[in-house]
Structure 1
Amino acid sequence: MIGYFRKVLLLVSLLFLLKNSLLAQLCTGSLGDPVVNLTFGNGANPGPPSSFTNMSFFATDCPNDGQYTIRSNTQNCFQSTWHSLLQDHTGDPNGYMMLVNASFQPSDFYVQKVGGLCGNTTYEFAAWVMNLMRNASCFGGPTINPDLTFSIETPTGAVLASRTTGQIAVSAQPKWEQIGMFFTTPPGTSEVIMRLRNNAPGGCGNDLAIDDITFRPCGAKLKTAIEGISGNRAVLCEGAPTSFRFTAAITSQLANPEMQWQESRDSGRNWVNIQGAQTTTYTWNNRPAGNYLYRVLVADRGNINSLACRIASQPLEVRVRAKPRIELVAATPFCVGTRLNISGRINWVDTSNGTYNWRQPAGGSLVMAQKDSGSFYLLHAGKVAEAADSGWYRLEAVSGAGCTAADSVRIQLLARPAASIQLPTLACQGTTTELAATASQNAGAIAGWQWSWPGQTSSAQRLSLRFDSAMAMDFRLVALAQNGCYSDTATATLVVHAQPVAGFLMPEVCLTDPFAQFSNTSTIADGTPLRFNWRFGDPANPAAGSTLANAQYRFSRTGVYAVGLTVTSAAGCTADTVQQFTVNGAAPKAGFSLGTTGLICSADTVVLRNESTVDFGNITRLVIRWNNNDNPAEMTVDEAPFAGKTYPFVYSTLMRGLEQKFTIRFTAYSGIGCVQELTREITVNQSPQALMTAISPLCANAPAFVLQQGSEQGGLSGTGVYLGAGVSGTDLFDPLVAGAGLHPIAYQFTTTAGCRDTAEQTIRVYPVPQVSAGSDLSVLVGGSITLQGSANGSGLRYLWTPPTDLSNPAVLQPLARPRQDRSYLLTAISPDGCSASDEMKVTVVNELYIPNAFSPNGDGLNDSWQVPFLESVAGAELRVFNRYGELVFFTTGKGRWDGRHKGADLPAGIYVYQVRYNGLLRKGTVMLVR
């Protein structure tokens, strides 16, 4: 028994070793790039069906026995007895794989021809497979594990290599296994057949996933190295004076080997031949920053460019680390006394950080401070720069990979000018003020100026400004020297003093007045005291003047004098004014005329025209007393009269009776004591008061009526008349004559004395609808007809009377079914209530009249045949037949036959007709005459 168990154990061990050897039949030498790389593609589910399998394609997840699908994932299949896969073998969530639910009987399930191979060449065949079943997935029953045979055959059926996997066991977690084997193509053979066979029966299990099937050339072991470097990876900084020597060795000799070194810059996805690198060594010189891969290809001579015939070494890697990138501000001069700021930017490129250091010139004593702002480094001086701080400043950086870089900037310190502002001695409101800029020359010539004050700037050296109000304004000035340095800001405050406004009132005097009194009206905004200097402009006394605020002076003769006044503020600001002053003559002559002649009514405007004169100068004042009293309401005073000026007045408020006399007293002045007065009597008649009350709107077809809305309210005797569109005689208004619209109507009343007044009202005349009941109609007994009413107007309502036998008496065109002759009246009513009517008659025809002949010859007489009133009977039909019984005309209701059929004239002769109406059928003949 012990011996038996030893035998069983030995057998199990051998089977285990055999299976692992089958699964590990992979190339131990060097491989070439894949000749075949079957990944099944990628994209959205499902993938496209394969043409290399005899199984049925299943478009969704979880295929049944004997089916397969192409998908990028599978989840919860068969009550989660399958593993859930969220990606293919390579980890691509969009990559497809082939999911197989094997058939019940063992069979070949995948056969594909592979071409483009090289004869007499050894290839590694490999595929990744997975048992989709989970542990204990068959509900206590046995699980059937996949058992596959991979076979490579020639097109004639000779087997080059065959491997059987044995049972691929279930696993608790998804487990991909690579299965591989070798085969050698016969000389001259470039195609093989790849065959996959399912050896296990169907049932619970035998479900698998397949992905990434590859054919790769397999040959001698290639060994590459970097001289002086341990391992296959070298790292250096860009720009380092370094080179490497790559070597390649072949462990077994080829009959006639050929070599080619290649380079890849995208992590091995694409390889490029290195020109001239075809020996066992290759010398590499420093390159720009990046990752570089290198490998050597080996093949029998003549096959080096064939993907299917060559092998490749494991890649060598050279990592060229980037140096930090330093950017400094351009070297510009700095000015003595300013804070020195140097800004630099360090980009570490392929490391997140590093170290750096600033170096100052030998005489520099600046304390440098760092402020980190992302990849920007701002260096600030701890004190104002001095001349000794001139020189080169150098920024050195070392990346985290140890790569160094440096950059320098030269700082030149220059002398600065000193600016100052020259203010004016006095600045007054409303006058031009000048300010000047000056600067020391220790920094060289001045190249420019920068003025600033509230809301304004300037680059001029001198400013000419005008200020419209008193204020205190701050000015700032910076001078720019030709060496580029600016001065400190000079400041000064300009005080703008209030400007006085000179003014005075001139008296109205004549030669005999004792003196002329001038009244000062000068002002100043800040209220400070003013000084006065009067000039009277008297040629007889040129020095005549005064320093009083209000001055007096007596002139010895009439004339026009230039009187001037100069006022000066406490700050010294002055203002001056000159006015022409007239000394009038002592003998004014009053005179006036009335523009109103003839009848004067109390509602009229009496217009007085000034015609007064003086022997020299001007009339200075007029007083008009319209009722010879000093009541201000009945008096006009003019302090600035002139010849021809007019003055209106209305007497209506002063009237006491039908007629009244008034005395006008007219007084003219040429000075204080020089005056003349005139009087004139006028007669004024009472004006009437016309009134007119509102007139109600009415329709245009309303009858004419007598207007009675006008009256006179004052009780005066006289005559009233009406005026306006539609008015005839003196009081008759006809709305039809006036027409639709708004019309002003006036009532004019004239007194027996001739005074007149007018009142007015507007009357609205509404338009009347235009209505037609249509032509008289006839209808066959038992029939119906549509009344052809029409009307013009907006928003109209309609009414047919009587409503007997009408479908709807409130519509414009109702359907009528009269049983006897009847007259209908159509009335249209507008929204304003205006209406108009029209009448028509419907005649009921008891017998159907059918014409027995017609002559369609175009002479205008009986050119067509029609049965009258037939259209009024619903469902009525008319048919006409020729002598052969052929239907040549048909109509329902109204229709005219022109003697034609299908567009052609019919011959003259007898035609038979049939008329159906009201359940009756009438037959007869009609003669067609040509």
Structure 2
Amino acid sequence: MRYFFLFLLLFILSSAQSQLCTGTLGDPVVNITFGNKNTTAGPLRPGITNLGYVTGCPIDGNYSITNAAFGCWGSTWHDITKDHTGDDEGRFMLVNATNAPSVFYVETITGLCGNTTYEFGAWVANVLKPSSCSGTGTKPNLTFTIETTNGVVLATYNTGNIIEDAQLTFKQYGFSFKPPITASSVVLKITNNAGTGCGNDLAIDDITFRPCGPSMSASINGVLGFSNSSCFDSQSNLLLNMTIGSGYINPSYQWQISTNLGATWSDITGANSTSYTRIPTAVGRFQYRLLASESIYAGVASCKTASLPITIQINNSAPRIGNQTINQCIGGKVDLISASGSGGNLTYQWTGPNGFSSNLKNPTLPSIRSGDSGTYIVKAITTEGCSASDTILVKTFKAISGSYNGNSIICLGDSLLLRALGSYQFEWYNNTRAILSTNSVLRTKPTDTTQYQLVFRDIAGCFDSINIPVFVIKPPIVDAGPNRNILIGSNTTLLGSISGQNSGFTWFPVFNMQNPSSLTPLVNPIINTTYSLMAFGINGCSIVQDTVQVRVFVSLNTPNSFSPNGDGIHDIWLVGGLETYPNSELTIFNRAGQIMYQSKPYFEGWDGKFQGKNVPIGVYYYIINRGNGEPLLSGSIYLIR
């Protein structure tokens, strides 16, 4: 009866622990991934498994450590293209089990903390196809056992039969256990319970041990949740609080922060309670988490569990242009200008006198009346909901007549000359409402398209204003394309491109060019030729050009003999056409392989001498490197005198 009770207690304990952690998890203490392209491939350490190690598809009682498996056993196994995690050439353990139940994996796990709950997990796949073995294949059936180093069973879990899937599928099996207070190591055993028969083949990957702690729930300023979003200019202190479930006797806490989406975490100095007050920061996404452990393990990372991260998003403020005053005579037009965002994803809400409203960015009052005087308010709203308001005070006055002359379309680099007309006082403003001049003439040199405002004032105090858009035409960007190399008699395509505004282009010279009206004409020059691509700016602005060189290589003429006897006929062995290859090299050898002559780059032929003395009559050999990536040329020369 005593033994039955002990067995029943162990069964109940095993069943209760045969589940994954339902609280909070720490970072993996142990993560057995079987390696990837950055680690050395090969068998497991001696003593871990009783199976034989092979490469390729294992036979019964053997295993391999591999990153893929194809066509195993007449394609009765699934083709496996990657491991469970999808690491770069990540590996897994591929097992063709023995024909009898056995413990096939034993490993001592170190670095644990006593009296700390851990979650064990492993990802397993049945590699047999459902149609294999006439549809009655033996299913892998695994038992995971955690023992102390002296053999006391702490927890055990049975997977049951692991069925085949239409597509290879890794499934996680796991459970929780707690080592004794004095234990820092445990022994993991994996038993295959299946017997003989066709099948019983599996892949296993990512065996992990992670500390498992009580559940943690977050609140931000008293509101349950793990996220908060604020605008930069409306930030306030945020009280982050974590409610911890039961489980710790004497807990230790540490808040951490990450600014790279959890890739790395840093401790926050002095943040050692369940609450943390966050002060305003710069724009960005910030994540906070709380680490927890028993106090005796406060300095041991492998004993700590971590809450889910609390994400605080600080968004850019909506832009403001600043409060403005617009003076306009009755009957004149008023352009209401709002701020622009860097991305342009803004919405606008205008309100003003006489029930005025608009959702346009820059609405217009086409003919202002005295009743249109007053304050206009525009609210710019970002896609994240941040908003900012500007105020425009519109004042109406008895109409006066003001005008200006000057060219409002200029080329980049040209000076702008605008002249106000009439017997008034003048004020010139740029697009940021900074005053530029009080003279009748505005001279400036803008570098980009902009807008100026000219304000007229008469002696009676009437105002008029004109918004003057100025368009700055930038020159086009011209690229004639990469230089080209061709053999004489062949052709090549030029790869010209033009970006920016332009009124047309031309190539020159156009001889030996097909379709010169295209940016990619076909050319077949017979000599080295430099082509220019010229683009014309719009409105008579800059002409920009770029050049491309087409180098023409001729076919080589390599004589098979010469007679350096001083009679003026064939005294020099010349390679016709090689001079057109600027990086060419000519080397001449005797039968013994001794270099008789070398010219690099080639610029003249061989006079049949070596170190100033005539060489003997006979056969010599040459190697020509044209220096353009084409194969070397070689042959023989007969020297006669």
TM-score normalised over the length of structure 2: 0.52
Kept in 2: contact 1:132–1:208 (CA 8 A): yes
For 1:206 and 1:384, locate their aligned partners in 2 and report how far apart those are by CA, in whole Å.
Answer: 87
Q: Residue 119 of structure 1: SS of its match in structure 2? A: coil
Residue number in structure 1 paired with 2:350: 358
1:200 is aligned to 2:213:
no
Instruction: From 259, 264, 268, give the equivalent of 2:253.
Output: 259
Kept in 2: contact 1:222–1:249 (CA 8 A): yes
Q: Residue 301 of structure 2: SS of its match in structure 1? A: coil
The offset of 1:210, in angstroms, is 1.4
Instruction: From 555, 561, 567, give the equivalent of 1:792.
Output: 567
Q: Residue 145 of structure 1: SS of its match in structure 2? A: coil
Kept in 2: contact 1:129–1:210 (CA 8 A): yes
Amino acid at match of 1:443: Q
Alpha-carbon distance change, 87 to 384 in structure 1, aligned in 2, over 3 angstroms = farther
The offset of 1:301, in angstroms, is 1.7
Amino acid at match of 1:212: D
Kept in 1: contact 2:370–2:396 (CA 8 A): yes
Alpha-carbon distance change, 300 to 77 in structure 1, aligned in 2, over 3 angstroms = same
Q: Residues 316-368 of structure 1, C-alpha deviation per residue, up to 9 Å, x if partnerless?
A: 6345463663254996988876773636324689xxx67421245x5998x97
Unaligned runs of 5+ in 1: 1-13, 371-376, 422-436, 451-478, 489-787, 797-930
Amino acid at match of 1:397: A
Q: Residue 425 of structure 2: SS of its match in structure 1? A: coil
Residue number in structure 2 paired with 1:441: 423
Report the identity percentage.
35
Q: Residue 139 of structure 1: SS of its match in structure 2? A: helix
Kept in 1: contact 2:13–2:155 (CA 8 A): no
Alpha-carbon distance change, 480 to 288 in structure 1, aligned in 2, over 3 angstroms = closer
For 1:187 and 1:251, locate their aligned partners in 2 and report how far apart those are by CA, in whole Å.
Answer: 19
For 1:79 and 1:293, locate their aligned partners in 2 and report how far apart those are by CA, in whole Å.
Answer: 51
For 2:390 and 2:96, locate their aligned partners in 1 and report how far apart those are by CA, in whole Å.
Answer: 68
Unaligned runs of 5+ in 2: 1-7, 407-418, 427-437, 444-453, 459-463, 469-562, 572-641
Q: Residues 168-226 of structure 1, C-alpha deviation per residue, up to 9 Å, x if partnerless?
A: 23334444332223443344432333333434356531211212211122344555545
Larger radius of gyration: 1
For 1:270 and 1:316, locate their aligned partners in 2 and report how far apart those are by CA, in whole Å.
Answer: 12
Q: Residues 508-550 of structure 1, C-alpha deviation per residue, up to 9 Å, x if partnerless?
A: xxxxxxxxxxxxxxxxxxxxxxxxxxxxxxxxxxxxxxxxxxx
Residue number in structure 1 paired with 2:505: none
Alpha-carbon distance change, 385 to 344 in structure 1, aligned in 2, over 3 angstroms = farther
Q: Residues 482-515 of structure 1, C-alpha deviation per residue, up to 9 Å, x if partnerless?
A: 9998899xxxxxxxxxxxxxxxxxxxxxxxxxxx
Residue number in structure 2 paired with 1:383: 366
Alpha-carbon distance change, 411 to 155 in structure 1, aligned in 2, over 3 angstroms = farther
For 1:244 and 1:438, locate their aligned partners in 2 and report how far apart those are by CA, in whole Å.
Answer: 59
Q: Residue 127 of structure 1: SS of its match in structure 2? A: strand
Residue number in structure 1 paired with 2:44: 51
Residue number in structure 1 paired with 2:517: none
1:325 is aligned to 2:318:
yes
Kept in 2: contact 1:418–1:440 (CA 8 A): yes
Residue number in structure 2 paired with 1:31: 25
For 1:102 and 1:302, locate their aligned partners in 2 and report how far apart those are by CA, in whole Å.
Answer: 43
Amino acid at match of 1:441: S
For 2:212 and 2:16, locate their aligned partners in 1 and report how far apart those are by CA, in whole Å.
Answer: 17
Kept in 1: contact 2:221–2:238 (CA 8 A): no
Q: Residue 194 of structure 2: SS of its match in structure 1? A: coil
Kept in 2: contact 1:35–1:308 (CA 8 A): yes
Kept in 1: contact 2:71–2:79 (CA 8 A): yes
Instruction: From 108, 125, 128, give the equivalent of 1:113.
Output: 108
Kept in 2: contact 1:22–1:163 (CA 8 A): no
Alignment of 1:856-867 (within 5 A): none
Q: Residue 298 of structure 1: SS of its match in structure 2? A: strand
For 1:263 and 1:397, locate their aligned partners in 2 and report how far apart those are by CA, in whole Å.
Answer: 32
Alpha-carbon distance change, 329 to 85 in structure 1, aligned in 2, over 3 angstroms = farther
Kept in 1: contact 2:323–2:391 (CA 8 A): no
Kept in 2: contact 1:154–1:160 (CA 8 A): yes
Kept in 1: contact 2:67–2:82 (CA 8 A): yes
The offset of 1:396, in angstroms, is 0.9
For 1:202 and 1:323, locate their aligned partners in 2 and report how far apart those are by CA, in whole Å.
Answer: 66
1:345 is aligned to 2:340:
yes
Instruction: From 397, 405, 409, give the equivalent of 2:380.
Output: 397
Residue number in structure 2 paired with 1:167: 161
Q: Residues 48-93 of structure 1, C-alpha deviation per residue, up to 9 Å, x if partnerless?
A: 3353455555555x44444444455555544443334555434668
Kept in 2: contact 1:72–1:88 (CA 8 A): yes
Kept in 1: contact 2:115–2:179 (CA 8 A): yes
Alpha-carbon distance change, 356 to 106 in structure 1, aligned in 2, over 3 angstroms = same
Between 1:406-415 and 1:78-87, the stretch displaced more is 406-415
Residue number in structure 2 paired with 1:249: 244
Alpha-carbon distance change, 320 to 259 in structure 1, aligned in 2, over 3 angstroms = same
For 2:565 and 2:304, locate their aligned partners in 1 and report how far apart those are by CA, in whole Å.
Answer: 102
For 2:395 and 2:80, locate their aligned partners in 1 and report how far apart those are by CA, in whole Å.
Answer: 70
> Higher relative contact order by CA 8 Å / sep ≥ 6: 1 or 2?
2
Alpha-carbon distance change, 65 to 795 in structure 1, aligned in 2, over 3 angstroms = same
Q: State the superposition RMSD in angstroms.
A: 5.0
Q: Residue 302 of structure 1: SS of its match in structure 2? A: helix
For 2:442 and 2:226, locate their aligned partners in 1 and report how far apart those are by CA, in whole Å.
Answer: 69
Residue number in structure 2 paired with 1:213: 207
Kept in 2: contact 1:33–1:217 (CA 8 A): yes
Alignment of 1:367-382 (within 5 A): 370=360, 377=361, 379-382=362-365
Amino acid at match of 1:340: D
Alignment of 1:486-635 (within 5 A): none
Amino acid at match of 2:95: V
Amino acid at match of 1:442: Y
Amino acid at match of 1:89: H
For 2:405 and 2:215, locate their aligned partners in 1 and report how far apart those are by CA, in whole Å.
Answer: 89
Kept in 2: contact 1:124–1:182 (CA 8 A): yes
Kept in 1: contact 2:369–2:396 (CA 8 A): yes
Alpha-carbon distance change, 269 to 203 in structure 1, aligned in 2, over 3 angstroms = farther
Kept in 1: contact 2:141–2:193 (CA 8 A): yes
Alignment of 1:715-794 (within 5 A): 792-794=567-569
